[in-house]
Amino acid sequence: MHTDKILRLRALAREVQNYQLERGLSDSKLCAKVSQVGSTKTYKRILDGDDALEELNVDKQLVNYDAAVEFIKILRASERPPEPEYDDFANIEDSLAAVARAMSEESIARFIVIEGENGTGKDAVQNALLKKWPNIILQVEATELWRESLAVPLADILNALSLRRQRDGEGEKFVVPSQPLGRLSLILEELKKRKLILLINEGHHMGPRALNMIKTLINQTPVVPVMLCIPKLLARLVSGNYEEAIQLFGNRLCERVRLSSPQVDEIVLMFERRGVRFDSDATQNQAAATLKAEAPQFGNWRYVTQVCREARTASKDRPINVGQFSAAKGIAEKRRIMRQTANN
């Protein structure tokens, strides 16, 4: 009976995972959005078919995951489909090319920094990397806790590695070391086996211990660390931890990619791909130039996407002129201002 319950629990967890993959959510973002899932550790254990789920309250988790699946049904009914992402846009192409060059690098110059303001496409870059190299990426997300204790980033990397080991000759589950030194030794042992990409989102949250950890991983393994971050926060990290940071941003740095705000040619492409119809090419070009100038103020590509949505609706029956585009843009602008005001 207990086995049947575990099988049902794992089936529910796979339904949750399907939603996670559809939306491109990390484990931490999934658990924050669908709180019934619980912790990332519990979620990974349930999905792991080799884990006997000892000491886990299966009945309680069945209730939780039933609720999670029901909540996901509500989300699917109310959420818009994910916005399309275009791999031929410059920010994504430049990022993929930089990581590919680092992958072929045999020296210690393998550290990639991808920095961009909010809305310039860091999530799209992350999704493109995961799509291109799905089997060799270790995806982690730095938090404020990475500054406080080396044990936290090491634990996150261990979880990304999904280590499932057996004690030699005993048949018992391998216990992850509690001390940073033991965790680091285990990670180094695993990373030496093949070249992997360590994708660190929100990398600006790192501190001196984590910076030194990345340096050690580069020195002793073939790993390619890729850090996604916000420029101003990255500058604060580097200036506040100069001695540690300079060792990474010096001879270990392979490339630094700076994501640009939306450009006119790509905004025009987005108009065409999103089905926005204009009464002339001149109107379309003028609209794109206007958005290029305004985008950094209102959220970059998020703002452009919202304008496209409103403009597509406005041009459903007939192509729109400059005035009609301005009216559609005004709706999106007001929404962005309201959101920015609420966030502040």
Average pLDDT over residues 284-305: 95
User: Which of the four pLDDT bands, split at 50, 70 and 90, describes residue 225?
Assistant: very high
Residue 99 vs residues 17, 130, 190, 246: alpha-carbon distances, Å? 27, 12, 21, 20
User: Which of the four pLDDT bands, split at 50, 70 and 90, describes residue 336?
Assistant: confident
pLDDT at 63 over 70: yes
What the block records as the tokens of 101 is 């060059």
Beta bridge partners of 115: 229, 258
Average pLDDT over residues 102-119: 95
Q: How far is residue 60's CA from residue 79's CA, in Å, rounded to a whole number?
A: 28
pLDDT at 173 over 90: no
Check: CB of residue 231 under 8 Å from CB of residue 170: no
pLDDT recorded at residue 1: 43
* Superfamily per CATH, domain 90-258: P-loop containing nucleotide triphosphate hydrolases (3.40.50.300)
Mean confidence (pLDDT) of the chain:
89
Question: How confident is the model over 175-216, as pLDDT tens digits?
Answer: 667 788 888 999 999 999 999 999 999 999 999 999 999 999
Average pLDDT over residues 11-29: 87
pLDDT recorded at residue 328: 93
Residue 323 vs residues 284, 293, 294: alpha-carbon distances, Å? 12, 18, 17
pLDDT recorded at residue 169: 40
pLDDT recorded at residue 172: 52
What pTM, to 2 d.p., does this model score?
0.74
Spatial neighbors of 113 by CB under 8 A, at least 6 apart, are 203, 227, 229, 234, 249, 253, 255, 256, 257
pLDDT recorded at residue 242: 85
- Helix 2-23 to helix 40-47 angle, to the nearest 10 degrees? 120
Question: How confident is the model over 126-170, as pLDDT tens digits?
Answer: 999 999 998 899 999 999 889 888 988 998 998 888 754 433 344
Strands (E), the chain: 111-115, 137-141, 197-201, 224-229, 253-258
Average pLDDT over residues 102-128: 94
The DSSP line for 200-241 is EETGGG--HHHHHHHHHHHHHS--EEEEEE-HHHHHHHHHHT
Q: How far is residue 264's CA from residue 209's CA, in Å, rounded to a whole number?
A: 42
* DSSP at 163: -
